[in-house]
Structure 1
Amino acid sequence: MNVLSYLTWLVHLTSVFEWLNIIYIFILYSKFEKIPFFKKFILSLIPSFCSALSVCTLHFFNNNESFYLLINFQSFLTLISNLILYISILIYKNNINKKKVLDRKKIKC
C-alpha cells in the first residue's frame, strides 16, 4: 500500500464514498418523489462505483502485475457506465418532454 501517497489514497477513497453517497441520495429521492425512473437510474450508477473500486483494489496491492487486468476492466466499466448514464439522461429528458406535452393537452381541454 506504500505506492501511493496519503493524499492520493484520500482522493481514491473519497471517490468510492462519493458514488455510495450519490446512490444513497437517489434511493432516498426516489422514495420521496415516487418517480419510478430513479429506481432504474440507480442501477446505472453501479458500474461507476465498481470502476472506482477496481482502481482502489489495484493500488491496494501495490500495482502488482497480476492485477493489471483491473486496468482494462476499470476502463471498460468507465466506458459502459458513461454510456449507460448518457442513455438514462436521454430517456429521462424524453419522459419529461412527453409529460409536458400531455400536461399542455390537459390544460387546453
Structure 2
Amino acid sequence: MHALSIPTWMVHVSSVIEWIAAIWLIWRYGEITGNRYWWGLAAAMLPALVSAMCACTWHYFDNPLDLAWLVTLQASMTVLGNCTLCGAAWWIWRQTKQTNTDSASDSD
C-alpha cells in the first residue's frame, strides 16, 4: 500500500466513490423520468468502474508482478467502457432526436 501517497489514494478512492454515486444518480434519473435509455448509460458506466477498481487493487498490493494481469484487465475494461459509453451516448442522442421529431410532428 506504499506505492501511492496519501493524497493520491484520496483521489483514487474519491473517484471510485464519485463514479458509483454518478451511476446511482443516473439510474434514479431514468426511474424518475421513465426513460430507459438513462439506465443504459448507467450500465455502460460499469466497465469503467471495474477498470478503476482494478487500478486501486493493483496499487493497494504495491504493484506486484503476480497481479500484473490486473493492468491488462484495467486496460481492457477502459476500452470496453469507452465503447459502451459511446454507444449509450449515441442511444440517448438518437432517442432525444426522435422525441423532438415526434413533438414537432404533433404540434403541426
TM score, norm. by length of structure 1: 0.94
Matched positions, count: 108
* 1:25 corresponding residue in structure 2: 25
Once the 2 structures are TM-superposed, how far is the Cα of residue 27 of structure 1 from its aligned partner? 2.0
Written as runs of structure 1 = structure 2, the 5 A alignment for 1:8-19 is 8-19=8-19
2:37 and 2:91 in contact (8 A); partners too: no
Give the ranges of 4+ consecutive aligned residues of structure 1 lying more than 6 Å apart after TM superposition. Answer: none
Q: Does 1:93 align with 2:93?
A: yes
CA distance in 2, matches of 1:76, 1:100: 36
2:73 aligned partner: 73
How far apart are residue 45 of structure 1 and its match?
Answer: 0.8
Q: TM-score, with normalisation over the residues of structure 2?
A: 0.94
Deviation of 1:56 after TM superposition, in Å, equals 0.4
Unaligned runs of 5+ in 2: none
- 1:40 aligns with 40
Kept after mapping to 1: 8 A contact 2:38/2:92? no
TM superposition shift of 1:96: 0.8
